Amino acid sequence: MKISDPIKIAYRSLTSSKLRFLLTVLGVVIGVAAVIMVMAIGASAQKLVLSQVENVGSNLVVVLPGASEEKGPPAGALGIVTTTFKNDDLKALRAKRNVPHLLAVSGYVSGSATIESPMQSFEASFQGVSPAMAEVEDIAVAVGRFFFSEEESSLARVVVLGASRAKDLFPNRDPIGEIITIKNSPFKVIGVLEERGSAAFSNPDTLIYVPLDTAQKILLGINYLNFARGKVDAPENIERTMADMTLLLRKQHDLEEGEESDFSIRSTKAALGLLTNITDVLKYFLIAIASISLLVGGIGIMNSMLISISERIREIGLRKAVGARPEHIITQFLIESSFITLIGGCIGVIFGVCIAYVVALIIPHLGYDWQFYVPLSSVIIGFSVSLLIGIVFGLYPALRASKVSPMESLRYE
């Protein structure tokens, strides 16, 4: 028997009932396409999330008020307002003798209010920051300038606008020198930042930046910080810097040895590792769910092959009568089930890639820097799993066919 004979027999058998063949293939197509789509979109989403953090900087450390477990979320992430982190702590962190590898550090407070310009009025977010924020976040000013230290200490009423916020407040007009009001207090526009895009799940282009002390005392009426962000001189000094900051802040807060810290210090480098682990778990969970459709396709293959056996009992018996052994019958039916999954796998990969591409075309219009990315592993896994499904779910019908008795099959009507 030639190697091509079982393939020819498989083709004739499967195409003898075209509708059943197409429906069986469709089940595999849907399963493979779902796996490819989920893996491709999951990989792109993971790249987006990680790039959001990387855009902030991989050599940054963040101080958050409130205690937390090492791998748990800080108190602020749970909506708990903690007022233990003060401006004096920020001043201590700025002293080079205390934290020698910290290049710059900025405090942050946030709020929202009605913002008015001579041309527009709407509700928007503002952020109180230190002059060092420009160095910490590596931001560039497109026109005008950023705050001076003297303006922070003197409670100057000046603002720097994010790129898109400047266009919202002053369409077709230079905003430098113009006056806007925040909570009915007048502020002079002294600068507009270059467009940065979204970063760390927020869009700095839509923010309005106010000197830290001004935001605390005039706009918010608070004497504490929401958080602080510092820039370390080199990635290898991050752990040492975090240790120095911990010792310093514990001393600032008069904490005894063994007493729990009332603050948390995190690095963006550690956050990247944690986010990678979390997104991997989510990605593989979604892949597992998508794989269920492949199992449904496998059940469809088994059902189709069992129906095929009942229709081909006379053919099986005749082949056995002329010398075909059980392994020949098993091979024949496994070739047929694999043929179904091969065709379904090819079409499914194409459909999955096309869907991922369409998603990559749509999401950037929603304001996200989404990249079209299909991992080679997704294609390999899609093909491999589909072929495995074909063999596994084709094995039982093949074994059943191999046990057909030639005498009984020749009497079968």
Segment 332-352, tens digit of pLDDT = 777 777 788 888 888 888 888
**201: which residues sit within 8 A by CB, 6+ positions away?**
52
Could you give the CA distance from residue 355 to residue 38 in angstroms, rounded to a whole number? 10
- Compute the average pLDDT of residues 33-54: 76
Segment 391-410, tens digit of pLDDT = 787 777 777 777 766 666 55
Segment 143-173, tens digit of pLDDT = 999 999 899 889 999 999 999 899 999 988 8
Segment 369-383, tens digit of pLDDT = 777 888 887 788 777
Is the pLDDT reported for residue 105 higher than 60? Answer: yes
Q: Which two tokens stand for residue 136?
A: 């910490």
- Cα–chain center distance at 112: 28
Q: pLDDT at position 178, please?
A: 93
- Compute the average pLDDT of residues 3-18: 59
Percent of the chain with pLDDT over 70: 81
Closest CA to 132 of 91, 76, 176, 100: 91
Could you give the CA distance from residue 359 to residue 348 in angstroms, rounded to a whole number? 16
Q: Name the residue ranges covered by the structural domains of the chain.
A: 4-53+273-411, 83-261
Q: pLDDT at position 74, please?
A: 56
Closest CA to 103 of 149, 59, 141: 59
Segment 196-239, tens digit of pLDDT = 766 545 678 889 999 999 999 999 999 899 999 999 988 889 88
Segment 267-290, tens digit of pLDDT = 876 666 666 776 777 777 777 777
pTM, two decimals, is 0.61
pLDDT band, residue 3 (cuts 50/70/90) = very low
